[in-house]
Structure 1
Amino acid sequence: MSSIKRIVCLANSKKEGERCIAGIDIDTGKWVRPVCDDQYPEDGKVPENIRLVDGREPELLDILEMSLANTGNDFGFESENLSIHRAKWKCLGRVRPADLIKYCGNYRHILHNSGKYVNPSYLKRLPFEDRRTLQLVQVNKFDVERRITSKGVIEWKGTIQSVNGQNLTGIKITDLAFIHKLNEGYQITGQYLLTISLGMPWAYEGWEGEKPCWKLIVGVIELPNSPLLTTNDLISQTDVEMARIGWTKVQGRDYLVRNFDKKARLQLTTEELQEFLAHLKSLPNCQNNFNDDFFN
């Protein structure tokens, strides 16, 4: 059984000579990774004759319409995969980068742990819906490094810090459009949304033990350099977290006064808002409903 899906493209990365496409279903808010598992049963990569829209590669922020099955080959550890039906993909329009911030997951770690990889055996032990292999992350620190492999191939790796204080170091970048920009001299500035994905199991020569799924930067989206927009986005996220933990207006203001000597969120700098948001996200859920008007 199949259905028409509308997916915001958040990844178009290289995968064994073809591409891996992934994004958010705008009707459900869930991650979807279209897989061509009949043609490529080993990894589901998407060939050019299927993925092109109007003769071009799908771009990040495109809203793609496609026919997908309601299930797909999970390759033993992935929860987001849906099989592709061979109907022509369409681009319905584009979204603004700031509209995607709400899809950044509220998780303790970026994809299950603080390391560079996750073992497939760990994922297989989780309930199916918890086998996350894709995550959108808002970062305020993003450094890149150009390296030459032993085979003479240029590759780029990224080191990031999320707005929640999570860190990843030396993560391979596979977003081909962004790699092209880096090769042309692009300089990192401002804040970004990054799609982090787990690759198929792979190990270096001489690796001992289970082949891991390495974390990859498969999509890079630059956020507009607008302090007002960033402030509004962060305040919106603190609204959500305040409701989740059940804090009152008085509790919120007391925290701001104690930690920043300020009484309102609009008085905070971007860095202070990020610190406030990270603190709220670290607190557990509250059973009480939040119905007190919050402060501005």
Structure 2
Amino acid sequence: MYKKFVCLANSRKVSGRCIAGKELINGVYENWIRPVSERNSHEISEVDRRYQDGSTAQIFDIVGLKLKSKSAHPAQKENYTIDDGYYWSKEGRYTDSLDFLLDDPDSLWQSDYSSYNGTNDRIPTTAITAEGSSLYFIQPHNLEIVVRIEGAEFGNGKKKVRAAFSYNGDHYLISVTDPEIERIYLAQGEGRYKLNGQYFMTVSLGDAWEGYYYKLAAGVFEAKQ
């Protein structure tokens, strides 16, 4: 099968990228799609997301690609297995208002499940089924980027980047996996950075880890004026 989508997440995974976006059907961007590989961790490699000219798929590219089949996952109904025998195709760039892509969930899955360092940043695997969405494109409120060392007491001195924001009355502090946001704010050092202006965010449920799915800021984008 062949599908086209606008890329709204190009986020970091342990050994590759998590790519996702909204499928283009008859001129309308509709359901989410998350291309995955057949590797154990399903990540997309640099080679997987390569165009024929050697460049790679980027945020807001309109991407065309061949897929083998729908991919079964207990919480990510949007997954499709790529056919890695073919290059991806750049069909254009998305230039319309990001408002046209917004989702409007009542909440970002269930609240009141927080990790040691996060707020409303995870949900038990038993509370999620594949029937619901694992991806949303939202407009967060009071968005801040938080950089801090979280594992010093366990001998880990690396800095962590999180997004603090509100959405429909709930407060969140979730991990950022957008590599560009990580790069910018890790370079600035520890602190809280208020993002002024109009921002949009792709929020994703990651793979299961120790009984939970974690909520991830897979893409953070400023609206261009």
Same topology, TM > 0.5: yes
Measured against aligned partners, the alpha-carbon deviations of 1:261-285 in whole angstroms (never above 9, x if no partner) come to xxxxxxxxxxxxxxxxxxxxxxxxx
Which is strand-richer, 1 or 2? Answer: 2
Structure 1 residue 220 corresponds to structure 2 residue 225: no
**Aligned CA distance change for structure 1 residues 52 and 188 (closer, same or farther; 3 Å):** farther
Structure 1 residue 143 corresponds to structure 2 residue 144: yes
For residue 54 of structure 2, what is the aligned residue in structure 1? 55
Structure 1 residue 179 corresponds to structure 2 residue 177: no
Structure 2 counterparts to residues 1-296 of structure 1, below 5 A: 3-27=1-25, 29-37=30-38, 40=39, 42-53=40-51, 54-74=53-73, 76-86=74-84, 87-96=86-95, 98=97, 100-113=98-111, 115-124=120-129, 128=130, 130-150=131-151, 151-162=156-167, 165-185=168-188, 188-203=195-210, 211-225=211-225
The size of the alignment, in residue pairs, is 205
**Aligned CA distance change for structure 1 residues 187 and 181 (closer, same or farther; 3 Å):** farther
- How far the C-alpha of 1:112 sits from its partner, in A, is 4.1
Unaligned runs of 5+ in 2: 113-119
Larger Rg: 1
Residues in 2 aligned to 1:181 and 1:80: alpha-carbon distance in whole angstroms: 29
**Aligned 8 A contact 1:97 1:224 in 2:** no
- Structure number with the bigger relative contact order (C-alpha 8 A, sep ≥ 6) is 2
Which is helix-richer, 1 or 2? Answer: 1
Unaligned runs of 5+ in 1: 204-210, 226-296
**Aligned CA distance change for structure 1 residues 145 and 131 (closer, same or farther; 3 Å):** same
Which secondary structure state, in structure 2, belongs to the residue aligned with residue 79 of structure 1? coil
**Aligned 8 A contact 1:14 1:20 in 2:** yes
- How far the C-alpha of 1:184 sits from its partner, in A, is 4.4
**Aligned 8 A contact 1:60 1:221 in 2:** no
**Aligned CA distance change for structure 1 residues 96 and 141 (closer, same or farther; 3 Å):** farther
Measured against aligned partners, the alpha-carbon deviations of 1:205-232 in whole angstroms (never above 9, x if no partner) come to xxxxxx100100001111124xxxxxxx
- How far the C-alpha of 1:97 sits from its partner, in A, is 5.9
